């Protein structure tokens, strides 16, 4: 679950840059030990509410981290559900059930491109990445997982073995070789929930950022849009800022996160195409803007796996099915692609974006 803090810090830089005119009585809360292997940053908080905001962040993120952590044991969390696969149902929190139901919905919705029941395959890549990163540190290449092993694991990634009993509040994985990995949706969900709690407790104008998952609450007091950075996949800077007025979520999935270099010099990253069991390679990053952060998180991972054209079709369908909401996206690609979307060249890459973002992207040219 290791994610670089760069995205968070980039957002800081951008948001700081445009907060010069906000009253000096606001400040940021930085939480480096709130779980999810990332730095949580909350900006534009009234100074006299700093302690309260920090407590909310700690409370919310640590609680959700315990629920969704797959590497450390917590009572009733995903770790335990995975450990009990093939043995017995595990009583769990309603939030875990909520996220699982959403993840299952996205599995169907994306024709399997987003698959949180792919733990068996993702675990193999996780192990290869850990070993690969250690080898890279010594100047050696990492190894690519064996295809036969991956395909064997892929036989245990169907949702039919995930039994969610809403009434009993339990989850049972009937296939002992199957497991869950909610890494593609959990952080967005947690960020959305934390933002909701902040709103309930009276925080009306702030921005919460958790490893590439940004949630904006309310409008800035000077009427200017929030600016959320899109990281340069080839470097540590930003290529663009999404200028967003009002509440919403902006979530990015990219191939520059958690990756190692293999024997052929190729970078192997953490978003896996369920069809090939290999890292998806259509694009370098996808940024999704929606109302709900869990939706944005699941969609950005799904769009990263899909071709741009299939991704556009998915967004079209999503809009039809959610007429009261919105969804927009920006892709960064190595190669040009065939689409009618808005486009520009930037940082040696090709950017494409949907209509709703036209005029809302500040390219760092």
Catalog residues that contact Mg ion under the rule CB under 5 A: 184, 297, 300-301
State the number of binding residues for ligand AMP (CB under 6 A): 18
Range 223-228, long-range pairs (CB < 8 A, 24+ positions): 224/18, 224/21, 225/360, 226/15, 226/18, 227/14, 227/15, 227/17, 227/18, 227/362, 228/11, 228/14, 228/15
In this chain, which of 15, 41, 116, 315 binds ligand AMP, going by CB under 6 A?
A: 116
Asked whether position 255 contacts ligand AMP by CB under 6 A, the answer is no
Token code pair at residue 87: 């043995």
Cβ proximity to ligand AMP, 45 vs 211, nearer residue: 211
**What gap in Å lies between CA 215 and CA 24, rounded to an integer?**
22
Contact predicate 339/303, CB 8 Å: no
**What gap in Å lies between CA 233 and CA 348, rounded to an integer?**
10
In this chain, which of 253, 287, 290, 354 binds ligand AMP, going by CB under 6 A?
A: 253
Q: According to DSSP H, which parts of the chain are helical?
A: 6-17, 50-68, 78-83, 94-109, 119-137, 147-154, 186-200, 293-305, 308-321
172-191: which residues touch ligand AMP (CB under 6 A)?
181, 183-184
Q: Which stretch binds ligand AMP (CB under 6 A): 10-18, 31-39, 221-229, 265-273?
A: 265-273
From the list Mg ion, ligand AMP, none, partner contacted by residue 122 (C-beta under 5 to 8 A by kind): ligand AMP
Asked whether position 227 contacts ligand AMP by CB under 6 A, the answer is no
Asked whether position 230 contacts ligand AMP by CB under 6 A, the answer is no
130-149: which residues touch ligand AMP (CB under 6 A)?
none
DSSP string for 191-226: HHHHHHHHHHTT--SEEEEETTEEEEES--TTSPPE
Distances (CA, A) of 50 to 39, 42, 44, 54: 17, 10, 10, 6
Cβ proximity to ligand AMP, 126 vs 220, nearer residue: 126
* Residue 159 DSSP label: G
Cβ proximity to Mg ion, 301 vs 354, nearer residue: 301
Whole-number minimum distance, CB 303 to ligand AMP, in Å?
Answer: 9
Name the closest residue to ligand AMP (Cβ).
Answer: 183
Whole-number minimum distance, CB 39 to ligand AMP, in Å?
Answer: 15
* Strand bridging mode 285-290 / 40-46: unpaired
86-115: which residues touch ligand AMP (CB under 6 A)?
114-115
Distances (CA, A) of 133 to 144, 168, 261, 282: 12, 42, 8, 23
Please report, for the chain, how many H helices and E strands are present, in that order: 9, 19
Asked whether position 285 contacts ligand AMP by CB under 6 A, the answer is no
In this chain, which of 65, 297, 312, 328 binds ligand AMP, going by CB under 6 A?
A: 297
Q: Which stretch binds ligand AMP (CB under 6 A): 76-84, 133-141, 300-308, 346-354?
A: 300-308
Contact predicate 361/242, CB 8 Å: yes
Asked whether position 353 contacts ligand AMP by CB under 6 A, the answer is no
Whole-number minimum distance, CB 134 to ligand AMP, in Å?
Answer: 18
Asked whether position 305 contacts ligand AMP by CB under 6 A, the answer is yes
Whole-number minimum distance, CB 253 to Mg ion, in Å?
Answer: 5
Asked whether position 284 contacts ligand AMP by CB under 6 A, the answer is no
Which residues are at the interface with ligand AMP (CB under 6 A)? 114-116, 118, 122, 181, 183-184, 253, 270-272, 274, 297, 300-301, 304-305
């Amino acid at each position: 679950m290791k994610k670089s803090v760069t995205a968070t810090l980039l957002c800081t830089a951008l948001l700081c840059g445009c907060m010069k005119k906000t009253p000096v009585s606001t400040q940021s809360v930085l939480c480096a030990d709130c779980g999810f292997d990332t730095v949580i940053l909350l900006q534009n908080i009234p100074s006299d509410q700093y302690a309260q905001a920090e407590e909310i962040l700690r409370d919310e993120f640590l609680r959700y981290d315990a629920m969704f952590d797959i590497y450390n044991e917590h009572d009733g969390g995903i770790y335990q559900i995975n450990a009990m696969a093939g043995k017995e149902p595990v009583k769990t929190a309603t939030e875990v059930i909520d996220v699982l139901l959403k993840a299952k919905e996205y599995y169907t919705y994306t024709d399997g491109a987003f698959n949180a029941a792919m733990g068996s395959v993702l675990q193999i890549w996780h192990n290869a990445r850990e070993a690969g990163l250690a080898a890279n540190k010594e100047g050696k290449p990492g190894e690519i997982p064996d295809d036969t092993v991956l395909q064997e694991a892929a036989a245990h990634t169907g949702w039919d073995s995930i039994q969610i009993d809403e009434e009993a509040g339990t989850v049972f994985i009937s296939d002992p070789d199957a497991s869950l990995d909610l890494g593609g949706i959990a952080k967005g969900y947690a960020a959305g929930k934390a933002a909701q709690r902040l709103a309930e407790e009276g925080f009306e104008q702030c921005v919460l950022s958790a490893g590439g998952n940004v949630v904006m609450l309310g409008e800035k007091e000077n009427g200017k849009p929030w600016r959320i950075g899109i990281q340069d996949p080839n470097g540590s800077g930003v290529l663009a800022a999404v200028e967003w007025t009002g509440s919403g979520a902006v979530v990015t999935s990219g191939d520059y996160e958690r990756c190692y270099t293999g024997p052929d010099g190729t970078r192997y990253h953490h978003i896996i195409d369920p069809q090939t069991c290999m890292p998806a390679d259509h694009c370098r990053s996808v940024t999704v803007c929606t109302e709900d952060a869990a939706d944005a998180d699941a969609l950005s991972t799904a769009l990263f796996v899909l071709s741009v054209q299939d991704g556009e079709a998915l967004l079209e369908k999503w809009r039809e099915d959610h007429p009261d909401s919105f969804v927009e996206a920006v892709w960064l690609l190595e190669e040009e692609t065939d689409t009618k979307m808005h486009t520009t060249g930037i940082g040696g890459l090709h950017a494409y974006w949907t209509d709703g973002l036209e005029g809302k992207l500040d390219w760092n040219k």
